[in-house]
Structure 1
């Protein structure tokens, strides 16, 4: 899952970013509204966290302009303003949820996971496709109840494919969602990660969970449950 974080307080921004990265999320960060709006307009995100009190362009204005551009990823407002009027204004601007500072990182993560699941049509905390279970909160993956150990990139790929189970996902799209903006990217490496993921999920070659569509990308073939 790729997250856009727009927060002007440097220490808090780094704290949140590191915490989310520790949970295997891909995070792009900005300290002002103008840059945040540019990132949100130019790059594909699964969810955004936007502070209201931003320099250059307010969080409310960032949200409004993103929605005016028909950018639909879920947005969570992060604010020190506790007045109900501020919350209502943010939601009416196009945000999907809000969290008031100070907050617990666990609650922030739970809300982001819930927003991304719902946006992709999932209603349960644990996602299941066939015999594969993935819990975004604990980052645990199991096949037929047996835990499977994945690397960070393997986990990110599986998470994204399960969020969009049944859809064809190109290598470019996968690359965009597992790497941060300033990381070196090589879409050919995706093939290596997918091969390793297949071997771990289906060592006996009985499930065929990930289909390759030549020239188009990959598709998780197992049905949602």
Structure 2
């Protein structure tokens, strides 16, 4: 993580400038550049480390257990261990941990706003959509059970859920398309690097060839 602070077009340009100062024995400029480079890298390292610690703490706080029926009885297990075929017991306030189908219990109200944009909670079970058997019993991973208690059988988990497939598609697409602003920054950095290379080459030629070193 610390070494990563010194990679990138701008950092490499500064490092090239420091190397040039070192080669021509320009110690004041070399010292200033190295101090600034190390200060920037150290600050970036501690900021990134602090952010990573916050993310880890958030993940730890989000770890949740849920009653799951196995071998004829309900046991509380971490939701990350839920597999297709498990029967979940959920109550109002729970986040649905996997795509599942309502089996029995109260008529429930499920908030799917984060997934479908539906502003109001939907009723489960309800009448099936035309040509989609059991769609009226479907409960999507990531939705919130607002009202009621029920048992539901898990159909899909992880990346095989609707939200998991969407997240996987976003992850696969990330980094392939470069935004306009990012593209302009990269172009500017490439021009600056090219200019730096030309100037450094000319200086070395002038000092070691023309002046004879």
TM-score (norm: length of structure 2): 0.25
